[in-house]
Each structure stands twice: as C-alpha cells, then as structure tokens.
C-alpha cells in the first residue's frame, strides 16, 4: 500500500529524524542527530563605505555560481525600492525587512513555492530588530540555512546597534571587513559621525536617513576615533 504523505515537503536539506534517509553521503551527526558541520551565522561589519554591500553581493554571486540558492534581504537601503545598492554601482533585488517580517516564515514560504533556500544574505543588518537576529540563529540551527549578515557595528553615538549586539553575542563568526576607509587625516576610519549644519551631533534618533555628500541636510562622515571624539570634520571637501 502506498501512503504518500500529503504534508508539504520542503526542498531544503532534510531535517534529521527517525528513519530519515537523505541519501547521498551521510554527514557526521552529533548525539542530537543534527549535522556536526552544519550551517553558520556570520556577521561582517565595518564603517560606512567600506564595501559591505559590495561584499554581500559578491558572496551571493560566489554561492550562486556553485549552484546554491539564496535570498537577499535589506532594510532602509539608500535607494528607493527594495534592493541592495553599492557605492560602486552594483545593484541586486532584495526583500525588504520590516518589523513584521519573520525570516523563518520567509524561508518556509519560499520552500512552499518549491524554491530552495540554502542561505540568506542580510544586508544593512544593523537596522534589523533583535528578534530578526534570533530568527537568523534559528534558521541556522533548526533549518540548516546559512546566514551571512552585513552591517555597521555602531551608530552615530559610537554605540552598538541592538541587533548588532545580538549578532556579536550569537554569531558563529564575526569579522571586520578589511577594506580601510580613511578619515580626512589619513588614519583608519572607525566611527560614523552624524553631521547636521556642519557640526557633529551626538543626540537624536538612532536611525536617521542621511547621505554622505556635503550638501545633504543630515550627512554621515567616517572619522578616526581621535577626530570623532574631538568632533573635527577636517577641511571642507
């Protein structure tokens, strides 16, 4: 007698269970039956303009070339419309992350459409909620989906974003992006100053959309720690 399951099947790597026979080479499994070398949550951080979005898109490209399927998400990108854009002109469609969006549901819904999801690329992760980071961890541990997050570490007050604090606490790997952005003095830029009317401000909402050009009402400028603390913006560009 054939008894075809009518429950929805997902196309992801099968979750282990009793009698589960995924086929192919058997991965080494821990005492809980889960793969020992499974997915990972990685967070890459750096100041503005250090190439985070470029690296995010490059990583997406590298993985897709190997036949893996992923989703790209972003929040409050500089451009209008949900896409990841980079300072050097690359762009990629992306899913806009809202407070209401559950990343686990996003993956499940995609699976339900018959589309595999091997990994998530989460750009602008500093602006996600702490709950989103918990969801990322669960995607890794419970769904075997890799999550690669990219973002600023600190806000304009030089304090960690809440989501970033959680990423530092939970991620398997945290890496500083090694593309240096220089302060006007030539030292390595570390902190993102918010500039209003030509002055560095240290109070206000944590997220205010600005730009990096001099003419913008609110703009951001990467400074070394010395000049961030002194509030010195250097000669006008």
CA dist 218 and 132 (Å) reads 28
Beta carbon of residue 218, minimum distance to Zn ion (angstroms, whole number):
21
Pull the structure tokens for residue 90: 């690359």
Pull the structure tokens for residue 181: 């952005």
CA dist 187 and 179 (Å) reads 13
CA dist 92 and 119 (Å) reads 16
Residues 90-109 contacting Zn ion, CB under 5 A: none
Residue whose pair of structure tokens reads 């992350």 in the numeric block? 97
Beta carbon of residue 47, minimum distance to Zn ion (angstroms, whole number):
12
Binding residue for Zn ion (CB under 5 A) from 15, 179, 185, 207? 185
Binding mask 25-54 for Zn ion (x = CB under 5 A): ------------------------------
Among 181, 183, 173, 197, residue whose Cα is nearest residue 226: 183
- Count residues binding Zn ion (CB under 5 A): 5
Asked if 20 and 148 count as a contact pair (C-beta separation under 8 A), the reply is no
Binding mask 207-226 for Zn ion (x = CB under 5 A): -----------------x--
Question: Is residue 232 flagged as an active site residue?
Answer: no
Beta carbon of residue 187, minimum distance to Zn ion (angstroms, whole number):
5
114 is in an annotated binding site: no
Binding residue for Zn ion (CB under 5 A) from 42, 52, 194, 227? 227
Nearer to Zn ion, 166 or 227 (CB): 227
Applying CB under 5 A, the span of 9-17, 152-160, 179-187, 194-202 interacting with Zn ion comes to 179-187
Q: How far apart are the first and last CA of the chain?
A: 77
Residue 183 contacts Zn ion per CB under 5 A:
yes
* DSSP line for 27-84: PPB-TTSSBSS---EEEEE-STTSSHHHHHHHHHHHHHHTT--EEEEESS-SSSSSEE
- Pick the catalytic residue from 93, 96, 113, 124: 124
210 is in an annotated binding site: yes
Beta carbon of residue 189, minimum distance to Zn ion (angstroms, whole number):
8
Beta carbon of residue 188, minimum distance to Zn ion (angstroms, whole number):
9
Nearer to Zn ion, 29 or 229 (CB): 229
Binding residue for Zn ion (CB under 5 A) from 187, 212, 219, 225? 187
* DSSP line for 81-145: SSEEE-TTS-EEE-EEP-TT--HHHHHHHHHHTT----EEEETTGGGS-HHHHHHHHHHHHHH--
Q: Which residues are catalytic?
A: 124
| Contact residues for Zn ion, defined by CB under 5 A | 183, 185, 187, 224, 227
């Amino acid at each position: 007698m054939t008894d075809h399951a009518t429950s929805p099947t997902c196309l992801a790597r099968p979750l282990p269970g009793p009698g589960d026979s995924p086929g192919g080479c058997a991965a080494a499994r821990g005492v809980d039956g889960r793969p020992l070398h499974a997915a990972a949550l990685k967070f890459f951080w750096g100041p503005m303009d250090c190439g985070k979005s470029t690296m995010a898109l490059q990583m997406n490209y590298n993985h897709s070339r190997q036949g893996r399927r992923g989703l790209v998400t972003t929040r409050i990108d500089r451009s209008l419309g949900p896409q990841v854009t980079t300072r050097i002109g690359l762009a990629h469609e992306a899913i806009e992350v809202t407070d209401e969006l559950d990343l686990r549901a996003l993956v499940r819904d995609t699976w339900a459409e018959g589309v595999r999801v091997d990994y998530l690329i989460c750009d602008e992760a500093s602006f996600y909620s702490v709950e989103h980071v918990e969801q990322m961890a669960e995607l890794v541990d419970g769904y075997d989906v890799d999550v690669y997050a990219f973002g600023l570490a600190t806000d304009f007050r030089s304090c960690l974003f809440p989501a970033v604090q959680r990423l530092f606490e939970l991620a398997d790997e945290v890496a500083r992006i090694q593309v240096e952005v220089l302060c006007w003095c030539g030292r390595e830029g570390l902190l993102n100053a918010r500039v209003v009317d030509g002055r560095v401000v240290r109070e206000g909402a944590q997220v205010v959309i600005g730009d990096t050009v001099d003419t913008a009402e609110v703009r951001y400028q990467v400074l070394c720690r010395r000049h961030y603390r002194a509030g010195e913006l250097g000669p006008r560009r």
